[in-house]
Amino acid sequence: MAQSNGKTVLVTGGAGYIGSHCVVTLQEAGYKVIALDNFANSVDDGCDGSIALKRVEKITGEPVTFYKCDLLDTVYLERIFQNHQIDSVIHFAAMKAVGESMQYPMLYYKNNIIGMINLLEIMKKYNIYNLVFSSSCTVYGEPEKLPITEEKRIGQSITNVYGRTKFFIEEILKDVTNSDDKWNIIALRYFNPVGAHGSGLIGEDPTKQFTNLMPFISQVAMGKKEKLTIFGNDYDTPDGTGIRDYIHVMDLASGHVAALHKLEKSHIQIKAYNLGTGRGVSVLELIKTFEQTNNVKVPFTFEARRHGDISTMYADPSLAERELGWKATRSIQEMCSDFWRWQTMNPVGYKTVLTNGHNH
* Residues with catalytic function: 162
CB 151: neighbour CB atoms within 10 A?
7
C-alpha to C-alpha distance for 43 and 350, rounded to whole angstroms: 7
C-alpha to C-alpha distance for 91 and 70, rounded to whole angstroms: 13
C-alpha to C-alpha distance for 132 and 91, rounded to whole angstroms: 6
On the 0-12 / 13-18 / 19+ scale of CB atoms within 10 A, 265 is exposed
- Pair 160, 101: CB distance under 8 Å: yes
For 311, the 3-state DSSP assignment is: coil
Q: How many residues comprise the chain? A: 360
**Cα 131–chain centre separation:** 15
